[in-house]
Structure 1
Amino acid sequence: MSERQPFDLATYLDGIGSRPCFICGVVRGDPEFFHHLVFEDAETIIFLSKYPTLPGYCLVCPKAHREDLAVDLTTEQYLRLQAHVHRLSRALKQVFAAERIYVLSLGSQQANSHLHFHVVPLPPGIPLEQQQYHALMAEHGILHIADNEMERLAGKVTKAFQAEIAAS
Protein backbone atom coordinates (compact mmCIF):
# COMPACT_ATOMS: atom_id res chain seq x y z
CA MET A 1 0.00 0.00 0.00
CA SER A 2 1.30 3.47 -0.83
CA GLU A 3 2.01 5.95 1.91
CA ARG A 4 -0.66 8.40 2.94
CA GLN A 5 -0.18 12.03 2.05
CA PRO A 6 -1.29 14.97 4.23
CA PHE A 7 -4.90 16.06 3.80
CA ASP A 8 -6.02 19.67 4.22
CA LEU A 9 -8.99 18.96 6.46
CA ALA A 10 -9.74 22.64 7.22
CA THR A 11 -10.13 23.49 3.53
CA TYR A 12 -12.19 20.37 2.93
CA LEU A 13 -14.55 21.14 5.83
CA ASP A 14 -14.92 24.73 4.67
CA GLY A 15 -15.85 23.54 1.18
CA ILE A 16 -18.35 20.84 2.10
CA GLY A 17 -20.32 23.22 4.26
CA SER A 18 -20.81 25.73 1.46
CA ARG A 19 -21.10 23.81 -1.81
CA PRO A 20 -24.00 21.85 -3.29
CA CYS A 21 -24.49 18.18 -2.44
CA PHE A 22 -21.61 16.29 -4.02
CA ILE A 23 -23.55 13.02 -4.23
CA CYS A 24 -26.35 14.71 -6.16
CA GLY A 25 -23.60 16.14 -8.40
CA VAL A 26 -22.22 12.65 -9.01
CA VAL A 27 -25.73 11.37 -9.79
CA ARG A 28 -26.23 14.23 -12.29
CA GLY A 29 -22.88 13.49 -13.92
CA ASP A 30 -21.61 16.99 -13.11
CA PRO A 31 -17.89 17.02 -14.03
CA GLU A 32 -17.15 19.17 -10.96
CA PHE A 33 -18.15 16.18 -8.80
CA PHE A 34 -16.56 13.42 -10.89
CA HIS A 35 -15.90 10.13 -9.09
CA HIS A 36 -15.06 6.72 -10.56
CA LEU A 37 -18.31 4.75 -10.76
CA VAL A 38 -18.56 1.15 -9.68
CA PHE A 39 -22.31 0.61 -10.09
CA GLU A 40 -25.51 2.47 -10.82
CA ASP A 41 -29.14 1.40 -11.09
CA ALA A 42 -32.45 3.23 -10.75
CA GLU A 43 -32.09 3.69 -6.97
CA THR A 44 -28.43 3.33 -6.04
CA ILE A 45 -25.03 4.67 -7.04
CA ILE A 46 -21.67 3.30 -5.89
CA PHE A 47 -18.35 5.02 -6.52
CA LEU A 48 -14.79 5.17 -5.29
CA SER A 49 -13.97 7.82 -2.72
CA LYS A 50 -12.02 10.79 -4.04
CA TYR A 51 -10.17 10.93 -0.72
CA PRO A 52 -9.40 7.28 0.07
CA THR A 53 -7.55 6.33 3.20
CA LEU A 54 -7.35 2.72 2.00
CA PRO A 55 -7.44 1.25 -1.54
CA GLY A 56 -10.95 0.34 -2.67
CA TYR A 57 -12.72 2.85 -0.38
CA CYS A 58 -16.27 3.14 -1.79
CA LEU A 59 -19.45 5.04 -1.08
CA VAL A 60 -22.90 3.48 -1.51
CA CYS A 61 -25.71 6.04 -1.85
CA PRO A 62 -29.36 6.26 -2.74
CA LYS A 63 -29.59 8.29 -5.95
CA ALA A 64 -32.47 10.36 -4.61
CA HIS A 65 -31.38 12.95 -2.05
CA ARG A 66 -32.28 11.29 1.23
CA GLU A 67 -30.92 12.56 4.53
CA ASP A 68 -32.42 10.56 7.36
CA LEU A 69 -32.11 6.80 7.34
CA ALA A 70 -34.89 6.43 9.91
CA VAL A 71 -37.54 8.50 8.11
CA ASP A 72 -36.49 9.06 4.48
CA LEU A 73 -36.30 5.41 3.39
CA THR A 74 -38.94 2.73 3.52
CA THR A 75 -37.88 -0.59 4.97
CA GLU A 76 -37.83 -2.04 1.46
CA GLN A 77 -35.62 0.81 0.13
CA TYR A 78 -33.24 0.38 3.06
CA LEU A 79 -33.00 -3.38 2.54
CA ARG A 80 -32.27 -2.94 -1.19
CA LEU A 81 -29.55 -0.41 -0.35
CA GLN A 82 -28.07 -2.74 2.26
CA ALA A 83 -28.14 -5.62 -0.23
CA HIS A 84 -25.80 -3.51 -2.39
CA VAL A 85 -23.60 -2.79 0.65
CA HIS A 86 -23.38 -6.53 1.29
CA ARG A 87 -22.61 -7.40 -2.35
CA LEU A 88 -20.00 -4.65 -2.48
CA SER A 89 -18.45 -5.95 0.73
CA ARG A 90 -18.11 -9.39 -0.81
CA ALA A 91 -16.62 -7.92 -4.00
CA LEU A 92 -14.12 -5.76 -2.09
CA LYS A 93 -13.07 -8.72 0.04
CA GLN A 94 -12.34 -10.65 -3.13
CA VAL A 95 -10.54 -7.86 -5.03
CA PHE A 96 -8.42 -6.65 -2.11
CA ALA A 97 -8.06 -9.88 -0.07
CA ALA A 98 -9.37 -7.76 2.80
CA GLU A 99 -9.02 -8.87 6.40
CA ARG A 100 -12.24 -7.05 7.23
CA ILE A 101 -14.75 -4.71 5.60
CA TYR A 102 -15.63 -1.52 7.43
CA VAL A 103 -19.14 -0.13 6.92
CA LEU A 104 -20.39 3.09 8.40
CA SER A 105 -22.71 5.97 7.62
CA LEU A 106 -21.48 9.52 8.13
CA GLY A 107 -22.72 13.01 7.37
CA SER A 108 -24.81 15.58 9.15
CA GLN A 109 -27.28 18.35 8.46
CA GLN A 110 -24.34 20.77 8.31
CA ALA A 111 -22.48 18.96 5.53
CA ASN A 112 -22.65 15.80 3.45
CA SER A 113 -26.29 15.44 4.41
CA HIS A 114 -27.06 13.01 1.56
CA LEU A 115 -27.29 9.57 3.13
CA HIS A 116 -24.33 7.37 2.21
CA PHE A 117 -22.44 4.35 3.46
CA HIS A 118 -18.66 4.12 3.52
CA VAL A 119 -17.61 0.58 2.59
CA VAL A 120 -13.88 0.12 3.04
CA PRO A 121 -11.63 -2.94 2.76
CA LEU A 122 -8.99 -3.30 5.47
CA PRO A 123 -5.89 -4.93 3.99
CA PRO A 124 -4.21 -7.69 5.97
CA GLY A 125 -1.18 -6.74 8.01
CA ILE A 126 -2.24 -3.26 9.13
CA PRO A 127 -1.05 -2.81 12.74
CA LEU A 128 -3.89 -2.69 15.27
CA GLU A 129 -3.18 0.94 16.21
CA GLN A 130 -3.74 1.90 12.53
CA GLN A 131 -7.01 0.00 12.14
CA GLN A 132 -10.64 0.91 12.82
CA TYR A 133 -11.34 4.67 13.03
CA HIS A 134 -7.67 5.50 12.55
CA ALA A 135 -7.72 3.69 9.19
CA LEU A 136 -10.68 5.76 8.00
CA MET A 137 -9.72 9.22 9.22
CA ALA A 138 -8.46 11.61 6.55
CA GLU A 139 -6.73 13.50 9.35
CA HIS A 140 -4.11 10.74 9.22
CA GLY A 141 -3.64 11.38 5.50
CA ILE A 142 -5.14 10.10 2.28
CA LEU A 143 -3.85 8.02 -0.59
CA HIS A 144 -3.08 9.88 -3.80
CA ILE A 145 -4.01 7.33 -6.43
CA ALA A 146 -3.47 8.30 -10.07
CA ASP A 147 -6.61 8.66 -12.16
CA ASN A 148 -5.71 5.73 -14.43
CA GLU A 149 -5.16 3.52 -11.37
CA MET A 150 -8.51 4.65 -9.89
CA GLU A 151 -10.14 3.73 -13.20
CA ARG A 152 -8.46 0.31 -13.11
CA LEU A 153 -9.56 -0.26 -9.49
CA ALA A 154 -13.12 0.80 -10.29
CA GLY A 155 -13.17 -1.69 -13.17
CA LYS A 156 -11.96 -4.54 -10.96
CA VAL A 157 -14.50 -3.73 -8.25
CA THR A 158 -17.28 -3.37 -10.85
CA LYS A 159 -16.47 -6.78 -12.33
CA ALA A 160 -16.48 -8.46 -8.90
CA PHE A 161 -19.66 -6.59 -7.89
CA GLN A 162 -21.46 -7.68 -11.07
CA ALA A 163 -20.42 -11.29 -10.32
CA GLU A 164 -21.98 -10.92 -6.85
CA ILE A 165 -25.22 -9.64 -8.41
CA ALA A 166 -25.27 -12.57 -10.83
CA ALA A 167 -24.70 -15.03 -7.97
CA SER A 168 -27.52 -13.65 -5.83
Structure 2
Amino acid sequence: MTDRQPFDLRAYMHDIATRPCFICGLIDNDPACFHHRIFEDDETIIFLSKYPTLPGYCLVCPREHREDLAQDMSTDEYLRLQEKVHVLSRALKSVFDAERIYVLSLGSQQANSHLHFHVVPLPSGVPLEEQQYHALMAEHGVLQMSHGEMVEMARQIAEAYHAEGANRC
Protein backbone atom coordinates (compact mmCIF):
# COMPACT_ATOMS: atom_id res chain seq x y z
CA MET A 1 0.00 0.00 0.00
CA THR A 2 1.18 3.56 -0.73
CA ASP A 3 2.69 5.40 2.23
CA ARG A 4 0.47 7.93 3.90
CA GLN A 5 1.48 11.45 4.83
CA PRO A 6 0.46 13.10 8.13
CA PHE A 7 -2.93 14.83 8.06
CA ASP A 8 -3.87 17.86 10.17
CA LEU A 9 -7.15 16.53 11.52
CA ARG A 10 -7.68 19.48 13.88
CA ALA A 11 -7.48 21.99 10.99
CA TYR A 12 -9.73 19.80 8.84
CA MET A 13 -12.37 19.53 11.59
CA HIS A 14 -12.34 23.32 12.05
CA ASP A 15 -12.63 23.80 8.28
CA ILE A 16 -15.61 21.49 7.79
CA ALA A 17 -17.42 22.92 10.81
CA THR A 18 -17.10 26.54 9.62
CA ARG A 19 -17.44 26.45 5.83
CA PRO A 20 -20.49 26.06 3.61
CA CYS A 21 -21.37 22.63 2.23
CA PHE A 22 -18.48 21.49 0.02
CA ILE A 23 -20.68 19.08 -1.95
CA CYS A 24 -23.10 21.86 -2.88
CA GLY A 25 -20.06 23.99 -3.74
CA LEU A 26 -18.71 21.24 -5.98
CA ILE A 27 -22.06 20.92 -7.74
CA ASP A 28 -22.14 24.72 -8.20
CA ASN A 29 -18.58 24.58 -9.67
CA ASP A 30 -17.03 26.64 -6.86
CA PRO A 31 -13.26 26.38 -7.50
CA ALA A 32 -12.65 26.20 -3.72
CA CYS A 33 -14.65 22.94 -3.67
CA PHE A 34 -12.96 21.25 -6.63
CA HIS A 35 -12.81 17.46 -6.63
CA HIS A 36 -12.06 15.08 -9.50
CA ARG A 37 -15.42 13.93 -10.85
CA ILE A 38 -16.17 10.36 -11.84
CA PHE A 39 -19.85 10.53 -12.82
CA GLU A 40 -22.84 12.83 -12.55
CA ASP A 41 -26.40 12.95 -13.71
CA ASP A 42 -29.52 14.85 -12.64
CA GLU A 43 -29.68 13.08 -9.26
CA THR A 44 -26.17 11.98 -8.32
CA ILE A 45 -22.54 13.05 -8.30
CA ILE A 46 -19.55 10.74 -7.75
CA PHE A 47 -16.05 12.09 -7.16
CA LEU A 48 -12.66 11.22 -5.70
CA SER A 49 -11.95 12.09 -2.10
CA LYS A 50 -9.62 15.05 -1.73
CA TYR A 51 -8.10 13.30 1.31
CA PRO A 52 -7.90 9.62 0.33
CA THR A 53 -6.57 7.04 2.71
CA LEU A 54 -6.59 4.40 -0.05
CA PRO A 55 -6.30 4.69 -3.85
CA GLY A 56 -9.71 4.97 -5.52
CA TYR A 57 -11.48 6.46 -2.48
CA CYS A 58 -14.75 7.90 -3.84
CA LEU A 59 -17.82 9.69 -2.53
CA VAL A 60 -21.34 9.18 -3.90
CA CYS A 61 -23.88 11.92 -3.14
CA PRO A 62 -27.32 13.09 -4.16
CA ARG A 63 -27.00 16.37 -6.07
CA GLU A 64 -29.79 17.92 -4.03
CA HIS A 65 -28.74 18.83 -0.49
CA ARG A 66 -30.18 16.02 1.61
CA GLU A 67 -29.14 15.44 5.20
CA ASP A 68 -31.25 12.65 6.64
CA LEU A 69 -31.32 9.33 4.80
CA ALA A 70 -34.46 8.18 6.64
CA GLN A 71 -36.47 11.38 6.21
CA ASP A 72 -35.05 13.29 3.23
CA MET A 73 -35.14 10.57 0.57
CA SER A 74 -37.89 8.42 -0.80
CA THR A 75 -37.28 4.70 -1.07
CA ASP A 76 -37.00 5.02 -4.86
CA GLU A 77 -34.43 7.85 -4.59
CA TYR A 78 -32.40 5.82 -2.10
CA LEU A 79 -32.48 2.71 -4.28
CA ARG A 80 -31.35 4.69 -7.34
CA LEU A 81 -28.46 6.14 -5.31
CA GLN A 82 -27.50 2.69 -4.02
CA GLU A 83 -27.60 1.32 -7.56
CA LYS A 84 -24.87 3.85 -8.41
CA VAL A 85 -22.91 2.78 -5.31
CA HIS A 86 -23.14 -0.81 -6.57
CA VAL A 87 -22.03 0.07 -10.11
CA LEU A 88 -19.14 2.10 -8.65
CA SER A 89 -18.19 -0.85 -6.43
CA ARG A 90 -17.97 -3.09 -9.48
CA ALA A 91 -15.92 -0.47 -11.33
CA LEU A 92 -13.51 -0.10 -8.41
CA LYS A 93 -13.06 -3.89 -8.26
CA SER A 94 -12.14 -3.86 -11.95
CA VAL A 95 -9.63 -0.99 -11.66
CA PHE A 96 -7.97 -1.90 -8.36
CA ASP A 97 -6.83 -5.22 -6.97
CA ALA A 98 -9.51 -4.87 -4.29
CA GLU A 99 -10.06 -7.54 -1.69
CA ARG A 100 -13.23 -5.78 -0.55
CA ILE A 101 -15.18 -2.58 -1.18
CA TYR A 102 -15.99 -0.55 1.92
CA VAL A 103 -19.23 1.46 1.87
CA LEU A 104 -20.29 3.76 4.68
CA SER A 105 -22.17 6.98 5.24
CA LEU A 106 -20.58 9.62 7.45
CA GLY A 107 -21.28 13.25 8.36
CA SER A 108 -23.31 14.99 11.02
CA GLN A 109 -25.49 18.03 11.54
CA GLN A 110 -22.39 19.91 12.77
CA ALA A 111 -20.24 19.25 9.69
CA ASN A 112 -20.46 17.57 6.29
CA SER A 113 -24.23 17.36 6.65
CA HIS A 114 -24.87 16.68 2.94
CA LEU A 115 -25.68 12.97 2.70
CA HIS A 116 -22.80 11.05 1.14
CA PHE A 117 -21.49 7.52 0.91
CA HIS A 118 -17.80 6.66 1.06
CA VAL A 119 -16.99 3.86 -1.40
CA VAL A 120 -13.43 2.65 -0.93
CA PRO A 121 -11.51 -0.28 -2.43
CA LEU A 122 -9.36 -2.18 0.06
CA PRO A 123 -6.30 -3.47 -1.80
CA SER A 124 -5.50 -7.17 -1.59
CA GLY A 125 -2.73 -7.99 0.83
CA VAL A 126 -3.33 -5.28 3.43
CA PRO A 127 -2.60 -6.78 6.86
CA LEU A 128 -5.71 -7.32 9.00
CA GLU A 129 -4.62 -4.75 11.59
CA GLU A 130 -4.53 -2.09 8.82
CA GLN A 131 -7.96 -2.96 7.40
CA GLN A 132 -11.49 -1.80 8.24
CA TYR A 133 -11.68 1.46 10.23
CA HIS A 134 -7.89 1.75 10.40
CA ALA A 135 -7.75 1.82 6.59
CA LEU A 136 -10.27 4.65 6.41
CA MET A 137 -9.08 6.91 9.23
CA ALA A 138 -7.26 10.08 8.17
CA GLU A 139 -5.68 10.08 11.63
CA HIS A 140 -3.33 7.46 10.18
CA GLY A 141 -2.45 9.84 7.33
CA VAL A 142 -3.68 10.43 3.80
CA LEU A 143 -2.22 9.67 0.39
CA GLN A 144 -0.49 12.54 -1.38
CA MET A 145 -1.25 12.29 -5.10
CA SER A 146 -0.49 14.84 -7.77
CA HIS A 147 -3.24 16.47 -9.80
CA GLY A 148 -2.12 14.40 -12.78
CA GLU A 149 -2.36 11.16 -10.80
CA MET A 150 -5.85 12.11 -9.61
CA VAL A 151 -6.93 12.99 -13.16
CA GLU A 152 -5.72 9.63 -14.43
CA MET A 153 -7.33 7.73 -11.56
CA ALA A 154 -10.64 9.54 -12.11
CA ARG A 155 -10.45 8.74 -15.84
CA GLN A 156 -9.84 5.04 -15.20
CA ILE A 157 -12.64 4.77 -12.65
CA ALA A 158 -15.06 6.74 -14.87
CA GLU A 159 -14.29 4.49 -17.83
CA ALA A 160 -14.89 1.38 -15.72
CA TYR A 161 -18.03 2.93 -14.20
CA HIS A 162 -19.54 3.57 -17.62
CA ALA A 163 -18.62 0.06 -18.77
CA GLU A 164 -20.19 -1.50 -15.66
CA GLY A 165 -23.30 0.67 -16.07
CA ALA A 166 -23.62 -0.40 -19.70
CA ASN A 167 -23.29 -4.07 -18.65
CA ARG A 168 -26.12 -3.87 -16.10
CA CYS A 169 -28.90 -6.34 -16.66
TM tier relative to shorter chain:
over 0.9
Q: Secondary structure at the match of 1:142?
A: coil
Q: Distance in 2 between matches of 1:57 and 1:125?
A: 17
The Cα shift of 1:164 comes to 1.0
Following TM superposition, by how much is the alpha carbon of 1:54 offset from its aligned partner in structure 2, in angstroms?
Answer: 0.1
4+ aligned runs moved over 2 Å, structure 1: none
Unaligned runs of 5+ in 1: none
2:47 matched to which residue of 1?
47
In structure 2, the residue matched to 1:115 is 115
1:96 aligned to 2:81? no
Give aligned pairs, total: 168
User: Within the alignment, does 1:70 sit opposite 2:66 as a pair?
Assistant: no
TM-score by length of 1: 0.99
Match of 1:149 in 2: 149
User: In the alignment, residue 84 of structure 2 is paired with which amino acid?
Assistant: H
Q: Structure 2: how far apart are the matches of 1:90 and 1:71?
A: 28
- Matching of residue 87 in structure 1 with residue 87 in structure 2: yes
Hey, what's the Cα distance between the residues in 2 that align with 1:12 and 1:54? 18
User: In structure 1, how many angstroms separate the alpha carbons of the residues matched to 2:26 and 2:80?
Assistant: 20
1:134 corresponding residue in structure 2: 134
Query: Structure 2-normalised TM-score?
Result: 0.99
Q: CA deviation at 1:2?
A: 2.1
**Deviation at residue 63 of structure 1 after TM alignment:** 0.3
Which residue does 2:158 correspond to in 1? 158
* Alpha-carbon offset, residue 148 of structure 1: 0.2
> What residue in structure 2 maps to residue 26 of structure 1?
26
Distance 1:58 1:29 in 2: 18
Distance 1:97 1:4 in 2: 19
Measure, in 2, the Cα distance between the counterparts of 1:34 and 1:79: 27
CA-to-partner distance for each residue in 1:91-119, whole Å, 9 max, x for gaps? 00110020000000000000000000000
Q: 2:35 aligns to what?
A: 35
